[in-house]
Amino acid sequence: MKDREVATRRRKVTGKWEYTWHLWATLLLHIIAIVLFTRGFLLTRTELPYYSNSSDVSESQCVYSSSHNNASSWTKPAVNRLIIIVLDALRFDFVAPSTFFPESKRWMDKLEVLKDVVSKNPTSARIFKAIADPPTTSLQRLKGLTTGGLPTFVDVGNSFGAPAIVEDNFLNQVDNGCIEHLFPSLYEDDWDVLISHFLGVDHAGHIFGVDSTPMIEKLEQYNSILEKVIEVLEKESGPGSLHENTLLVVMGDHGQTLNGDHGGGGAEEVETAIFAMSVKKPPSSVPVEYDTSSCQLDLDGKNVCVSTMQQLDFAATMSALLGIPFPYGSIGQVNPELYALGAGSWNSDASQELSESDIWMQNYANTLCINSWQVKRYIDAYSASSAVGFSSDDLSQVASVYAQAETQWLCSTKKLLLDKNKGTDALVPALKKQIEAYFNFLRTVAELARSKWTEFDLYMMGTGIAIMSISLIFQVLVILRANSQDGATLASSGYGWIFSASTFAFFLLGMRAVSFLSNSFILEEGKVAIFLLSTSGIVALRKSVVKGELLKESVGFLLLCTFCRFGIEIGLSKQSATSAFMKEYTSWILNIASDLPVWNHAAEVVPILVLILLAFWLYKATSGIFFGWTRKIVILCTILTYILIIVHWITENNRYVLAFMPESIGRTYIPRIIYAILLGQLLLLAFAQLFKGNCSDCKTNLVAKTTAMLAAWSSTIILLSGKQGPAVAFASIIGGYCIMRLCDIEDENGPKRSLSIGPFPVMQWNLFATCLFFCSGHWCAFDGLHYGAAFIGFEEFMLIPQAIILTLDTYGFSIILPIFGLPFLVATKYKADLGKHVLFRQLSQIYTTYGLITAIMTMFTIFCVTLHRRHLMVWGLFAPKFVFDVFGLILTDILICLASLYYFDQGKDDHHHN
């Protein structure tokens, strides 16, 4: 007797924690796992807010040879003007002669003017094979080209929205603007650097592929443009002319595959070309030691040489040539061959006793000195400011290599340089040694930076995956334990059926999880989800045929699946319109939608009607059952907000603007009022938690709570989803109702109905939620976010509220509503005589199962991302999917915890039932 009292008291103390502690533990485990994995997976360089100043150079130990004392430059300017023509997605084999490749293809040898120039003037023009650092996306690469740094993940994400900026259809117009402005500019003298970016090749590649007629036409067009540019430059190349000392650079920012894709780290994507031509002829070529070029005869028998360089080095080299400060975050080295093209301007002030190549070497050594100093400064500043800097081992290695080069500079080379009287015999070997030392340093830094910034930290990723697996095992154990408890207390009749249904549920889940292995399935994830949902619907129909009951519900569910399917297809066609990853996909529904004017009116009126229907239904459904007064208020508020939403939509349509209300009220104030009402409702519900009503009828209480919660959220989510909101809300109500009813028939063989809910309905609930995500026009990419929704009620940009609103819009139908709606599933099974404990155990069980399903999916996403980390589409598809899933998982966990706080009362009146 006493024991029992103690037990009861302990239960009082632990209360709901007994049922909910593992939910919090899971949340914690997931957060740790995901933070660790993300650390290892996403490129984690932080950007420093520093800039290089021209006066900084005095801090270095480097010197100038005499004459040049211009304070505004770091190195001696070698060129006065720079023309950069960027051809987006320029493959290396567009530029290099076809003889460099085993097989001649249709698209090769089209930019003939470049190699003609190179073969004519081997000293003043060069072709480079430039190796880019993945991810090979345009924004990313342009940033890399200009800063000389390595990419960070945030840019990668952003750049995938870029295809939306330029309409693909305007293929021919894209470049015309460039051409219009390029030629007049060539004759003007008010610029130092002229950059012209041609997108045509990239677009031709995305739309038609490399081996296509539009691509060839585009290349031929570029050939003629470049011919004209070079002609102009050569005409103006005389002493005192406009382009006396100009450098022309024609370059690609990245390559592309034969399909026109880019983004990954494949050889075709990272290899692009740089063509550089100095108008002023440099006297001689680079000293042999620094010449990496390989030469071959082209089809016309001309000798063409091609060198190799890292794209990373471009920024530093250009800065050195122009004599401007190197970018602060650049870790590239000044490329000797490209730098040599500017050597023409130095002869004038050279002393007579040195040969040309020695002067060049002298300059180059000095440039490298500044270059190394600047890189060292950046590395030091980076490790000082960033939390995830380099390890101390790496740092000390870098420092020692630098110290070695620096000592050599101070002790021997500098003296030799300053001392003009010494002969060249001692100087040249010393310079060579010096250059070698600097090369060594810069190479070490670049290697280190690559391994830290663009390589994945497999150890971290592995740890993350391991912790994630532990959390999965933990969840499974919790479920099994609860099951065994159930088995002890309740007759496990119909257990065999539950077993086979769960097998089937896990089979469907497994199919979905395995489908993440392929980028195609991720692209069409919505279709896969609806396929599986319909399959589960068909199985449910089969079952209801066997039992001969609930036929209407199962057929209705299948019909709903069919509707969802069309909704998802409309969403996918939107995706293809903005995404560069999908070829044209036209949906006949869209065509009909845009063609008929009647449809436009319907599109305005139908959502309003559906919303009125929803409000009416909500009123009817809640007027009957017992509700606390707080919940009554919440429901009434929701109905009020529905009316407000209708007013908001009407005022948005200029056609029906009401005369007595200024437009701005409808636009901004109504949404804000609705957000405020949501907050008020949530507070009210939380407040009502404090007062324990008498729990005479737990089931009704639970249903009332759930309804109030869903009603509170629904209005904001509908508002954010726009016109499709009411329809999706309606669909989710019907779908939820069908799943709820159908889970009732699953166990019937035995005389006593089992109370436990198998994973099958929960899996259906989860799949249906996923389908709603796609139905409401979202997809797992950053351009799939409805940025417009963030500005409902806000005119200007405010980060935090808008981030919250965007989250509400993105995950409203697919995470928030399903999770708060899950207790309905429990309520259908519950019988009044069983006491509160059973109810709570079921609730906890169902939430754990739901969390487990989401976690399994995320686990597979994480796993596939790891597996495909070198995949072509890793930044285009897998990484966004990863971000969406991980965010969704954390949100799911948090919401489950919050829901557990809300739905689990303190177990005060437990002892009555025990």
Q: Name which of 857, 854, 862, 853 is nearest 465 in CA terms.
A: 862
For the bound state, the minimum distance from the C-beta of residue 94 to other proteins, rounded and expressed in Å, comes to 24
Distance between CA 194 and CA 188 in Å, rounded?
Answer: 11
Rounded to the nearest 10 degrees, what angle do helices 551-578 and 759-775 cross at? Answer: 40
Q: Phi, psi at residue 352, to the nearest 5°?
A: -70, -30
For the bound state, the minimum distance from the C-beta of residue 519 to other proteins, rounded and expressed in Å, comes to 7
Check residue 530 for interaction with other proteins (CB under 8 A). yes
Distance between CA 67 and CA 508 in Å, rounded?
Answer: 77
Cβ closer to other proteins: 445 or 561?
561
Rounded to the nearest 10 degrees, what angle do helices 597-624 and 725-742 cross at? Answer: 50
Candidate ranges 236-244, 540-548, 679-687, 745-753; the one touching other proteins (CB under 8 A): 540-548
| DSSP-derived 3-state class of residue 86 | strand
How many residues bind other proteins (CB under 8 A)? The answer is 31
Cβ closer to other proteins: 526 or 880?
526
Cβ closer to other proteins: 543 or 631?
543
CB burial readout 56-81, b (16+ within 10 A) else e: bbeebebebbeeeeeeebbbbbbbbb
- Tokens read off for 151: 């990419």
For the bound state, the minimum distance from the C-beta of residue 560 to other proteins, rounded and expressed in Å, comes to 10
For the bound state, the minimum distance from the C-beta of residue 504 to other proteins, rounded and expressed in Å, comes to 8
Candidate ranges 80-88, 466-474, 527-535, 889-897; the one touching other proteins (CB under 8 A): 527-535
For the bound state, the minimum distance from the C-beta of residue 743 to other proteins, rounded and expressed in Å, comes to 18
For the bound state, the minimum distance from the C-beta of residue 253 to other proteins, rounded and expressed in Å, comes to 25
- Taking residues 493 to 512 in sequence order and writing x for each that binds other proteins by CB under 8 A, - otherwise, the string is ---x---x---x------x-
Residue in 528, 762, 852, 862 binding other proteins, rule: CB under 8 A: 528
For the bound state, the minimum distance from the C-beta of residue 559 to other proteins, rounded and expressed in Å, comes to 8
Q: Phi, psi at residue 766, to the nearest 5°?
A: -65, -45
Check residue 212 for interaction with other proteins (CB under 8 A). no
For the bound state, the minimum distance from the C-beta of residue 766 to other proteins, rounded and expressed in Å, comes to 19
- ω into 135 cis (within 30 of 0): yes
For the bound state, the minimum distance from the C-beta of residue 521 to other proteins, rounded and expressed in Å, comes to 6
Residue in 64, 208, 521, 863 binding other proteins, rule: CB under 8 A: 521
Check residue 783 for interaction with other proteins (CB under 8 A). no
Residue in 10, 181, 235, 542 binding other proteins, rule: CB under 8 A: 542
Cβ closer to other proteins: 544 or 845?
544
Cβ closer to other proteins: 523 or 846?
523
Distance between CA 583 and CA 561 in Å, rounded?
Answer: 26
Cβ closer to other proteins: 296 or 562?
562
Cβ closer to other proteins: 210 or 698?
210
DSSP assignment string, 144-158: HHHH-----HHHHHH
Q: Please enumerate in sequence order all residues whose Cβ is within 8 A of that of 275, keeping only pairs 6 or more positions apart, or say none.
A: 95, 114, 117, 118, 125, 126, 127, 128, 249, 250, 251
Check residue 887 for interaction with other proteins (CB under 8 A). no
Candidate ranges 15-23, 333-341, 359-367, 542-550; the one touching other proteins (CB under 8 A): 542-550
For the bound state, the minimum distance from the C-beta of residue 555 to other proteins, rounded and expressed in Å, comes to 10
Check residue 613 for interaction with other proteins (CB under 8 A). no
Residue in 426, 480, 546, 613 binding other proteins, rule: CB under 8 A: 546
Cβ closer to other proteins: 526 or 851?
526
Check residue 208 for interaction with other proteins (CB under 8 A). no
For the bound state, the minimum distance from the C-beta of residue 556 to other proteins, rounded and expressed in Å, comes to 12
Query: Do the Cβ atoms of 282 and 124 come closer than 8 Å?
Result: yes
Distance between CA 531 and CA 359 in Å, rounded?
Answer: 71
Interstrand relation of 193-198 and 303-310 (parallel, antiparallel or unpaired): unpaired
Q: Phi, psi at residue 351, to the nearest 5°?
A: -75, 155
List alpha helices for 271-391, DSSP H: 314-322, 336-340, 356-385
Check residue 518 for interaction with other proteins (CB under 8 A). yes
Q: Which residues pair with 292 in a beta bridge?
A: none
- Tokens read off for 796: 């200007």
Residue in 184, 588, 597, 620 binding other proteins, rule: CB under 8 A: 588
For the bound state, the minimum distance from the C-beta of residue 252 to other proteins, rounded and expressed in Å, comes to 25
For the bound state, the minimum distance from the C-beta of residue 880 to other proteins, rounded and expressed in Å, comes to 17
Cβ closer to other proteins: 13 or 592?
592
For the bound state, the minimum distance from the C-beta of residue 590 to other proteins, rounded and expressed in Å, comes to 12
Cβ closer to other proteins: 453 or 504?
504
- Taking residues 116 to 155 in sequence order and writing x for each that binds other proteins by CB under 8 A, - otherwise, the string is ----------------------------------------
Check residue 318 for interaction with other proteins (CB under 8 A). no
Query: Do the Cβ atoms of 881 and 847 come closer than 8 Å?
Result: no
Distance between CA 522 and CA 857 in Å, rounded?
Answer: 12
Interstrand relation of 246-252 and 271-278 (parallel, antiparallel or unpaired): antiparallel
Candidate ranges 46-54, 169-177, 485-493, 521-529; the one touching other proteins (CB under 8 A): 521-529
Cβ closer to other proteins: 527 or 699?
527
Cβ closer to other proteins: 495 or 504?
504
Candidate ranges 28-36, 316-324, 522-530, 855-863; the one touching other proteins (CB under 8 A): 522-530
> What is the residue whose two structure tokens read 């002969």?
423
- Taking residues 550 to 579 in sequence order and writing x for each that binds other proteins by CB under 8 A, - otherwise, the string is --------xx-xx--x--------------
- Tokens read off for 589: 């529904």
User: In terms of C-beta density within 10 A (0-12 exposed, 13-18 middle, 19 or more buried), how is residue 137 classed?
Assistant: buried
Check residue 535 for interaction with other proteins (CB under 8 A). yes
For the bound state, the minimum distance from the C-beta of residue 554 to other proteins, rounded and expressed in Å, comes to 11
For the bound state, the minimum distance from the C-beta of residue 259 to other proteins, rounded and expressed in Å, comes to 9
Q: Name which of 633, 842, 673, 812 is nearest 743 in CA terms.
A: 842
Rounded to the nearest 10 degrees, what angle do helices 835-867 and 698-721 cross at? Answer: 40
Residues in the chain: 914
Residue in 46, 66, 185, 520 binding other proteins, rule: CB under 8 A: 520
Q: Name which of 274, 247, 319 is nearest 83 in CA terms.
A: 247
550: left (phi over 0), alpha (psi -120 to 50) or beta: left
User: In terms of C-beta density within 10 A (0-12 exposed, 13-18 middle, 19 or more buried), how is residue 824 classed?
Assistant: buried
Q: Please enumerate in sequence order all residues whose Cβ is within 8 A of that of 612, keeping only pairs 6 or more positions apart, or say none.
A: 642, 646
Instruction: State CA 313 to chain mean position distance.
Output: 27
Cβ closer to other proteins: 587 or 689?
587
For the bound state, the minimum distance from the C-beta of residue 309 to other proteins, rounded and expressed in Å, comes to 34
For the bound state, the minimum distance from the C-beta of residue 208 to other proteins, rounded and expressed in Å, comes to 14
Check residue 545 for interaction with other proteins (CB under 8 A). yes
Residue in 401, 523, 717, 808 binding other proteins, rule: CB under 8 A: 523
Distance between CA 43 and CA 496 in Å, rounded?
Answer: 49
Check residue 538 for interaction with other proteins (CB under 8 A). yes
Distance between CA 595 and CA 576 in Å, rounded?
Answer: 20
Residues at the interface with other proteins (CB under 8 A): 496, 500, 504, 511, 515, 518-521, 523-524, 527-528, 530-531, 534-535, 537-539, 541-543, 545-546, 558-559, 561-562, 565, 588
